Chains A and B, each alone.
Chain A
Amino acid sequence: MELHLARPRGSGGDGSRVRAAWLMLLPVLLGLLVFAVYPSIYVVGLSFTKSTLGQPFKAWIGWSNYRWLLFGGDEIFVPSLLRAALFSFGVALVELWLGLWLALLLTSLQRAGRLVRSIMLLPLMTPPVLVGIAWKLLLAPGGGLVNGKLLSLGLVDTPVSFLGTQPWALLSVMVADAWQWTPFVAILGYAALRQVPDDIIEAALLDGANERAVFWKIQLPMTAPLLLAIFVLRLIMAFKTFDLLYILTFGGPGSSTDMAGFTIWRTALRNFDVGAAAAETVLFAGFVSVAILPFLWLHRRVERNAS
């Protein structure tokens, strides 16, 4: 491949080119050091200590933060890990399905498609905090549009507290998330679908295949590696969800919408137990890697098989 032209035909400029390239990489490597390497080491160290915001590394306490989180006392963190996984896989799957459907619709529309594309960009660009505000106002028991409509249509007698009762609270967060990110999947899915050469589809249609068969037998298999990549990307992003939870439910009611990222924040900045928060962070990072690695591996396999 053309990527390896950097070391061609041992001419004099070769070494200096490699040196220049590494020099251009240097700032990013420093950035990695500050943003990835240092935080990882620091958090691991912190997790074995009793720490507060004012006094990090106050006292060395060995494994006791981990013991407390995993085997005794704490009843919030481990469920919040599992809930984060449930939420992330749930929204990633739903968004992949809806987004792909939207992408297929886009490929079948020409001029109207452009307008829809512009509309789709809006949720994607909206700050998640404001997505939360918008949905909070829509779902509010007093003055929210959803309850207003349900009441005036006579479907309910008293307003539903969507964000204050389960399972509505978790579902509401998922709907708001899907609102924001389905367009993202649709745009990437549309790009993936366009990779399939038109003449293959035309030939199949001429052969009498219907659109359903074209999708399942041609478009889906040919775009599988890209679709899987989109799924993994959404999975990674969904594990990071914080803003929506902060605005919509603050982890409530009780701790029923608490997800690990938010739990960590609360442990550190509401309960000021920085050491325990660090231990939670280490466990969370490990958990996310274990949850995502199989899909990265699968993606690599599928990509290799496709090429």
Chain B
Amino acid sequence: MTVSTVVERGRFGGKGATRRGKASIPTAEAESSFVRRGLSLLGVGLYAGFFLLPIAFLISLTFKTRDEVLLGQFFTSKPTLENWWKAFEFINLTGFIGHSVLIASLSAVLTLALATPATYAVTRLQHGELVGSLVLSSYIAPPVVALLPLFFLMRWLGLLNSFAGMILVYGLMNVPVAYWLLRGFIAKIPAALDEAAWVDGAGFFKTFLVISLPLLVPGIVATGLISLILAYNEFLFASLFAQDDSVRGLTVAISLFQGDRFVNFGQMAVASIAGIVPVYLIALFFQNHLIGGLMSGSVK
């Protein structure tokens, strides 16, 4: 079959012709496509198994006694809940997770408050893209570059070991990512809408608030959640800026327990699973937002 026959079919036969073309595929080919489908399902199954394995193993560890952990097997003959109550008794898990959630959510709000108006302004200004690329290029530098300077700055400002300090650091840290994500959403809003509002006499900021912001809600939700998760997961800055138990978050707390001889594998697994639960709940309830957010950032 040549291109021209396809074009002709498309032009004269429309959909019916295409359907007829597909129906006339010999059965052997249909069988091979069945096999191919089976193979791709198998591939997907392998992938899914690989992605689930570490988490599933962590969960199985939480139900094992100290002796049974050493067997190195997946299933256990006599599951126990001992690890769960011991972990919560010995480790202030709810406290650490609470600190992390508090810092992460407030910093996400700060990131949004900074990045949303700025991204909007960047896309509507003539030389705005320049600022945009500056913001993005600041993302290239590894965070360890800012580690020491920020440490001295925060100590000077008295912000070490404080919620305010951590919220500020994360709130600013995630602005480039938020810009990258929001840009795609803002680009989809027709600029003619803004123009119409300006012609009607609305100011730039009011136009942003009343016209564009309501249309951006899905993008803002996605960006906020991703910023929140990034802040919740962060470790490097937290390990230096939040060393006190009163502000310490989950990632730092867990890093300190590995190597502690009072915490065994089972309790470690409990702490890990408990720490993962908040992010997985977000992933579960907002997966379409999250995936939509990531996809919108990448393809503009």
Distance, CA A51 to CA B40, complexed state (A): 57
A-B contact pairs, 5 of them (CB 8 A): A28-B131, A43-B148, A119-B51, A145-B74, A265-B147
Tell me if A136 and B40 are in contact (CB < 8 A). Answer: no
Contact across chains for B204 and A17 when beta carbons are under 8 A apart: yes
Residues of B within 8 A of A (CB): 1-3, 6, 9-10, 18, 21, 36-37, 40-41, 43-44, 47-48, 50-55, 57-58, 61, 69-74, 114-115, 117-118, 120-126, 128-129, 131, 134-135, 138-153, 172-173, 175, 179, 190-192, 194-195, 198, 201, 203-205, 208, 229, 232-233, 235-236, 240, 250-251, 254-255, 258, 265, 268-269, 272, 275-276, 279-280, 282-284, 287, 290-291, 294-295, 298-299
Complex CA–CA separation, A275 to B139 (angstroms): 24
- Residue from A121, A148, A278, A289 whose CB has the most chain B CB atoms within 10 Å: A121
Asked whether A247 is an interface residue with its Cβ less than 8 Å from the other chain, the reply is yes
Whether the Cβ atoms of B57 and A102 lie closer than 8 Å is no
Q: A32-B138, A207-B6, A292-B140 are in contact. Are A22 and B298 (CB under 8 A)?
A: no
Partner of B57, one of A120, A126, A138, A278: A138
* Cβ of A254 under 8 Å from chain B: no
Of the residues A40, A115, A116, A230, contact of B145 by C-beta under 8 Å: A40
Known: A43-B145, A265-B144, A278-B148. A183 touches B73 (CB 8 A): no
CB < 8 Å: which of B129, B148, B172, B283 contacts A274? B148
Residues in A with CB closer than 8 Å to B52 are: 119, 122
Partner of B153, one of A38, A115, A130, A269: A38
B124's contact among A21, A143, A236, by CB below 8 Å, is which? Answer: A21
Give the residues in chain A near B3, CB-CB below 8 Å: 203, 207
Tell me the total A-B contact number using a CB cutoff of 8 A: 303
> Does the CB pair B145–A281 fall under 8 Å?
yes
Q: Mark A109-120, 1 if CB is under 8 A from B, else 0.
A: 100110111111
A246 in contact with B255 (CB, 8 Å): yes
Per-position 1/0 for A25-50, Cβ under 8 A of B: 10111011011101110110010000
Supposing A125-B229, A137-B61, A240-B142 touch, asked if A24 and B118 sit within 8 A by C-beta, the answer is: yes
Specify which chain A residues have a CB less than 8 angstroms from the CB of B48 in the assembled complex: 115-116, 119
Chain A interface size, as a band, is 35 or more
Across-interface contacts of A148 in B (CB, < 8 A): 71-73
Minimum Cβ distance to chain B for residue A217 (Å): 13
The answer to whether A138 and B53 have CB atoms under 8 Å apart is: yes
Chain B neighbourhood of A43, CB < 8 A: 145, 148-149
- Complex interface: chain A residues within 8 A of B61 (CB): 137
Residue of B nearest to A131 (CB): B54
